């Protein structure tokens, strides 16, 4: 499992909340037992910044 880096890559608090909102919208659009959909949301929204920093 990858560790999420704590370095701030957002320019404002608004961008942080927009990123959280986008992730939550993605996850809530998934079915309750659809692990593939949830994994795609995690990959798209949460691991996006770690890929860019590597």
End-to-end CA distance of the chain: 15
pLDDT at 13: 85
In the chain, what are the domain boundaries?
13-53
Contact yes or no for 15/7 (Cβ under 8 A): no
In tens, the pLDDT along 4-54 reads 555 556 578 888 888 889 999 999 999 989 999 999 998 888 775 554 444
pLDDT at 6: 54
* 29 CB-near residues (< 8 Å, 6+ apart): 37
pLDDT at 1 over 60: no
pLDDT at 46: 76
pLDDT at 19: 85
Q: What distance in Å separates the CA atoms of residue 12 and residue 27, rounded to the nearest whole number? A: 23
């Amino acid at each position: 499992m990858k560790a999420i880096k704590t370095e701030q890559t957002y320019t404002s608090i608004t961008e942080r909340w927009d990123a959280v909102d986008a992730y939550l919208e993605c996850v809530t659009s998934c079915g309750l037992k659809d692990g593939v959909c949830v994994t795609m949301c995690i990959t798209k929204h949460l691991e996006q910044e770690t890929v860019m920093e590597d």
